């Protein structure tokens, strides 16, 4: 596997010389529980796109690199930061072949759900993990969700204002470089098969989508409230579904105010999280983005409520700063977090 790792790195270095598009983003986030615990987490994402032939085919690659100083500064269940991951020198987020035609895309290779699903202008502003993917899915299955990836067959088709997306994944995601821990594994008997579909409607003033995720294995939680391992999972198919709506309610020049609402359920109440709802809104102009969001998530061990207030300021074309405050309440207590996130794009 080490040899395979160096082959991939060598291939990426060769591709860099011919890259049509190479870019990245560095994020540094300082976190404080407004008491005595702090954490500093740093994430670097590198993206590469290399055209193949004279058509619209390309080789796509993206890597994640994470380093932090502390773990678990509060006892929340959803995860108050959507970039909080274990220290890892290099993880594959994307690696594969992309074909584009006039009305859609086809991708084959390593990928994760965050590349294609649950993305919108409003949700992208907030920092809570549930803004990236509903906990009815993320907390219920060990899928290819940040910071994990897996072998994927993805396609989307657009006709007018409608877009349909579908991804078929190995039932579990990985981020290692070992024989039994790498994103190239395909183990339907042990990990199951995971499929995600989403139908979107986009208009000038709004974005609406509905979708469903199906997993052929069930991963209930154990006595410690943690998801069981693949060896303890059950050969039972369960499903999660969701609806989302985002609508501009006021616009003047480059100033815009949008409201959003979303709801999701998992068909099995034995899974870790089986109900989720959120209501929020955001103001945007040329330099600023401000948002307010309230969330509810029903876990096996109880309910969690959270409130997030955030402001993102564009300092230069490539640098922005975003402070965020969150209040979180669950059966473990009441928690507050204050964070400051620095973005550098290149």
CA dist., res. 18 & res. 344, Å (int): 24
Structure confidence by residue, pLDDT tens digits, 31-56:
999 999 999 999 999 999 999 987 78
Bridge partners (DSSP) listed for residue 135: none
Q: Of the candidates 285, 293, 240, 297, which has an alpha carbon nearest to the alpha carbon of residue 266?
A: 240
Token pair listed for 174: 């990985």
Q: Which residue has the tokens 């055209």?
A: 51
Helices and strands of the chain, counted as H and E runs: 3, 16
First to last CA, the chain: 31
CATH code for position 241: 2.40.160.10
Structure confidence by residue, pLDDT tens digits, 86-141:
999 999 999 999 999 999 999 999 999 999 998 888 999 999 999 889 999 999 99
| pLDDT above 90: residue 232 | no
For residue 111, CA distances in Å to 99, 155, 292 come to 15, 12, 31
Is the CA virtual torsion 305, 217, 244, 339 positive or negative?
Answer: positive
CA dist., res. 105 & res. 154, Å (int): 8
Q: How many domains does the chain have?
A: 1
Specify the 3-state DSSP secondary structure of 170.
strand
Q: What is the mean pLDDT of the chain?
A: 93
Residues of the domain holding 179: 2-345
Task: Tell me what pLDDT residue 5 has.
Answer: 46
């Amino acid at each position: 596997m080490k040899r395979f790792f160096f082959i991939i790195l060598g291939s990426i270095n060769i591709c860099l010389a011919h890259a049509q598009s190479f870019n990245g983003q560095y994020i540094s986030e300082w976190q404080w529980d407004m008491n005595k615990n702090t954490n500093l987490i740093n994430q670097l994402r590198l993206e590469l796109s290399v055209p193949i032939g004279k058509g619209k085919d390309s080789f796509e690659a993206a890597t994640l690199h994470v380093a932090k100083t502390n773990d678990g500064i509060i006892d929340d269940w959803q995860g108050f930061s959507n970039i909080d991951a274990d220290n890892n020198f290099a993880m594959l987020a994307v690696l594969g072949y992309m074909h584009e035609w006039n009305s859609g895309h086809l991708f084959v290779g390593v990928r994760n759900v965050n590349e294609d699903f649950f993305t919108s202008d409003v949700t992208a502003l907030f920092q809570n993990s549930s803004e990236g993917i509903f906990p009815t899915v993320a907390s219920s299955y060990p899928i290819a969700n940040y910071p994990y990836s897996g072998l994927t067959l993805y396609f989307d088709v657009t006709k007018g204002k409608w877009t349909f997306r579908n991804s078929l994944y190995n039932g579990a995601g990985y981020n290692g470089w070992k024989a039994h821990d790498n994103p190239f594994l395909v183990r339907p008997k042990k990990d199951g098969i995971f499929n995600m579909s989403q139908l979107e409607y986009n208009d000038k003033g709004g974005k609406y989508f509905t979708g469903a995720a199906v997993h052929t294995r069930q991963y209930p939680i154990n006595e410690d409230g943690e998801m069981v391992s693949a060896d303890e999972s059950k050969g039972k198919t369960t499903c999660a579904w969701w609806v989302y709506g985002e609508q501009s309610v006021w616009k003047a020049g480059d100033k815009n105010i949008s409201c959003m609402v979303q709801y999701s359920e998992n068909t099995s109440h034995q899974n870790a999280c089986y109900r989720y709802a959120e209501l929020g809104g955001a103001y945007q102009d040329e330099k600023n983005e401000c948002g307010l969001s309230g969330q509810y998530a029903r876990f096996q061990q109880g309910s969690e409520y959270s409130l997030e207030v955030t402001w993102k300021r564009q300092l230069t074309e490539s640098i922005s700063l975003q402070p965020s405050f969150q209040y979180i309440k669950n059966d473990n207590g009441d928690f507050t977090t204050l964070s400051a996130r620095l973005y550098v794009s290149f």
